[in-house]
Chain A
Amino acid sequence: MRRTYVATEIGLEVLAEDGGEWRTERSTLQGKTVDAIVAADELGLVYAGVGHDGVYRTADAGQTWERTLEADVRSMVVDPDDPSTVYAGTEPVHLWRSRDAGRTWAELEGLQRVPEAVRERWWFPVYPHEPHVLSICVSPHDSRQIYVGLEHGGILRSDDDGATWKDVSAGIEYLDIHMVAADPKRQNLVYAATARGFYRSEDYGRDWLQYDAGFARDYMHDFIVLPGERSRLFMTTANGVPPNWLRDSRAESAIYRSDDEGLTWHQLGGGLPARMPLMVWNLVGDPLDEARLYAGAGEYVPNLPKGDPGRGELWASTDHGDTWTRLATLGGSVNKVCAAAA
């Protein structure tokens, strides 16, 4: 049995698959803007990061929740080497870590001690102009090596388990970082998605190069990296930044795939509209089947009338993105998706 947890502007939908059929198991955390959702399958735990609220933890697939951190949470990740270690990134920029499966949390205060010249770049164009940690990557090769991506502000790396941090944004022009992730095979290879393009670094982020061969979009948001002889990447994209999506064609979103570690890209079809009006905000893999992918789509809520949570869609592929099926439509814009083994 598997479940997908679909984090939306107005709560969390838990979908369960039994015998190939998906059904909605429950709606939970109702009324909350769920910005992050991650699972520690080995422990049977799921964590939800809620904006302007905190981290919630469930051990029973969302029947009951316990809030264990009060913060404006924007991103979460579970240490790939240690399921009891989990990170939460917030607005303003702070990074928190739990070593006991989300029961208690400690801030990684070293992130606040970077030089003022670096902090001066931390900013956000939307009032109140506070940047946030939108992406956290714990290296699959060495969990003492951690990257964070700031919207806006750049990429920072720690090589000492979060004690000290250095800015590693050289080569990235527009520091609106949506996602940073390390390659599962080559430790030195790191990828970043930004609001103005996709970048690769082959030296742990010291220097970045932009790669756009094959893209017919310029706004990159989320990606996943699947291991193989050469890693395969899947990227969610749009044309222009979210305020531009007020146009009739809206986001013009698309999913792209690279079969060569992000050097070249091609757009996926197979049931996906060529220009999706809704933005595909999130892509995730499946813990039981590496050919499966899930994509969560939704509106840019600030473009909607105040109080309108938008609408969302959940798409799935069972063949590495060659073909796609819409699994569900939802009453709130989808922010994140998490597939869990149970």
Chain B
Amino acid sequence: MTSGSRWRSPADGELTWFRPPAGLLPARPNPHELLDAQAFAFGASRALESLYFPMSEIRARLIDGELHLTVAPSGTASRDLELHKKNMRDSALRFSRGVRAAWQRVRPQVEEYSAFFEAFDPGKSDLFRLKRVRANQWFAPMRAVVAPTALLLYEGIGQTPREDALAAVAEVRHEVIDRGRALFYQALDRAGPSQATPPNEPLPTGDPSGPQMFLIPEILALLADK
């Protein structure tokens, strides 16, 4: 009898939660800022997952009013971590061979999303779409620029000169964190007051460990310019 492998996404209480580095996301977010943190979590999750980072999901929650993140492990990665990392290297090569060129490819998307926020009309679009576009704005440069730069700097994967890659990350920070975030908040203002009442849960906090944390602190630090 051959048995299959069962996978279950861990509950929030089974994971260790940590504060993101200052400069990336607000420490004590208001409802608009929490929506951005959730969009970041979705976009970053999809980017890192698609690049075979050994994790399944980043989550954002409030604990005592403070923003915390956690990283859920991956069942497929835990079964064969070496295969997962081989796929990660293959998957990142198209970006890490030329981080600057990769940024030039996705930059028009990032700018298109900012233009969407500027033109956002709540009579013609909805909050669901607005949040999804912001998540996509996090996703595209996370996958094409930030994660490949982390692989380049800390794993030696790729041929881009270090300074070029870091310059591309700085431009991502400007477009996504400075400009994109401000425009996203303005669009949220036009959408009206947030109906969301964020849960404020007692969850385990600390310094998480495990394969799912592979390069996560380094990626967050790159985005926060730390």
List chain A positions with a Cβ less than 8 A from chain B. 116, 119-120, 123, 125, 127, 129, 171-174, 196-197, 199-200, 207, 209-213, 218, 239-241, 243-244, 246-247, 260, 263-264
Interface assignment of B76: CB less than 8 Å from any CB of chain A? yes
Interface residues of B in 4-18 (CB under 8 A from A): 4-9
Partner of B91, one of A199, A213, A241: A241
Q: Is the Cβ of B49 less than 8 Å from the Cβ of A174?
A: yes
Distance in angstroms between the alpha carbons of A53 and B109 in the assembled complex: 24
A246 to B98, CA, bound (A): 14
Is residue B213 contacting chain A, with contact meaning CB distance below 8 A? no
Q: Are B74 and A173 in contact (CB under 8 A)?
A: yes
Please indicate the chain A residues that have their CB under 8 angstroms from the CB of B136 in the complex.
129
In the complex, A241 Cα to B88 Cα: how many Å? Answer: 10
- Residue B4 contacts which of A173, A209, A247 (CB distance < 8 angstroms)? A209
Docked pose: A173 CA to B8 CA in angstroms: 8
Find the B residue at minimum CB distance from A198: B4
Asked if B184 lies at the interface with its beta carbon under 8 angstroms from chain A, I say no
Chain A residue nearest in CB terms to B56:
A173
Q: Chain B residues near A120 (CB, 8 Å)?
A: 42, 128
Q: Is the CB of B90 within 8 A of A240?
A: yes
Size of the chain B interface, CB-CB below 8 angstroms: 32
- 4 tightest A-B contacts by CB? A209-B4, A244-B90, A263-B2, A210-B5
> What's the Cα separation between A196 and B42 when bound, in Å?
19
| Cβ A173 vs Cβ B50 within 8 A | no
A264 to chain B: which residues have CB within 8 Å?
A: 2
Q: Is the CB of B46 within 8 A of A247?
A: no
For A240, the closest partner residue in chain B by CB is B87
Complex contacts, A209 vs chain B, CB 8 Å = 3-6
How many whole Å from A128's CB to the nearest CB in chain B? 8
Tell me whether B93 is interfacial, beta carbon within 8 Å.
yes
B43-55 interface code vs A (CB 8 A; 1 in, 0 out): 0001001101000
- Does B140 have its Cβ within 8 Å of any Cβ on chain A? yes
Q: Say whether A116 contacts B128, CB under 8 Å.
A: yes
Contacts of B6 in A (CB 8 A): 171, 207, 209-210
On whether the beta carbons of B93 and A246 are closer than 8 Å, the reply is yes
By the criterion CB–CB under 8 Å, are A174 and B2 in contact?
no
- Tell me which of B2, B49, B93, B132 contacts A211 (CB under 8 A): B2
B94 within 8 A of A: yes
Contact indicator A197/B76 (Cβ below 8 Å): yes
B90 CB contacts on chain A under 8 angstroms: 240, 244, 247
Q: Main SS of chain B's interface residues?
A: helix
Does B20 make an interface contact (CB < 8 A)? no
Q: What is the interface of chain B, defined by CB distance below 8 A to chain A?
A: 2-9, 42, 46, 49-50, 52, 56, 74-76, 79-80, 83, 87, 90-91, 93-94, 109, 128, 132, 136, 139-140, 143
Let me know if B4 and A200 touch, CB within 8 A. Answer: yes
In angstroms, Cα B56 to Cα A199, docked, is: 17
Residues of A within 8 A of B75 (CB): 173, 210
Rounded to whole Å, the gap between the CB of A309 and the closest CB of chain B is 20
B93 cross-chain contacts in A, Cβ below 8 A: 246-247
Bound-state CA distance A207–B4 (Å) is: 12
A213 touches B2 (CB 8 A): yes
Picked from B9, B83, B140, the residue with its CB within 8 Å of the CB of A127 is: B140
Pick from B7, B52, B128, B140: contact of A173, CB below 8 A.
Answer: B7
Can you offer 18 A-B residue contacts whose CB atoms are under 8 A?
A: A120-B42, A125-B139, A127-B140, A171-B7, A173-B9, A174-B56, A209-B3, A212-B5, A218-B76, A218-B80, A218-B83, A239-B87, A240-B90, A241-B87, A241-B91, A244-B87, A244-B90, A263-B2
The distance from the CB of A60 to the nearest CB of chain B, in whole angstroms, is 44
Alpha-carbon distance A213/B2, docked complex (angstroms)? 8
- Contact call A171/B8, Cβ cutoff below 8 A: yes
Nearest opposing residue in chain A for B74, CB measure: A173
Beyond A129-B136, A197-B76, whether A241 also contacts B4 by CB under 8 A is no
If the complex has contacts A173-B56, A211-B2, A213-B2, are A243 and B94 also in contact, measured as CB distance less than 8 A? Answer: yes
**Chain A residues whose C-beta falls within 8 Å of the C-beta of B8 in the assembled complex:** 171
Q: Which residues of B contact A263 (CB under 8 A)?
A: 2
Contact A119 B128, CB 8 Å, known A127-B109, A240-B87: yes
Contacts of A244 in B (CB 8 A): 87, 90-91
Contact A218 B87 (CB under 8 A): yes
Q: When the two chains form their complex, are residues A129 and B139 in contact, meaning their CB atoms are under 8 A apart?
A: yes
Question: Roughly how many angstroms separate A119 CA and B126 CA in the complex, as a whole number?
Answer: 14
Bound-state CA distance A120–B8 (Å) is: 19
A248 to B5, CA, bound (A): 32
Note all chain B residues with C-beta closer than 8 A to A116.
Answer: 128
Shortest C-beta distance, A152 to chain B (Å), equals: 8
In the complex, which residues of chain B have a beta carbon less than 8 angstroms from the beta carbon of A197?
A: 76
Q: In the complex, how many angstroms separate the beta carbon of B151 from the nearest chain A beta carbon?
A: 14
Which residue, of A173, A197, A210, has the highest number of chain B Cβ atoms within 10 A? A173
Q: What residue of chain B has the Cβ atom nearest to residue A125's Cβ? A: B50
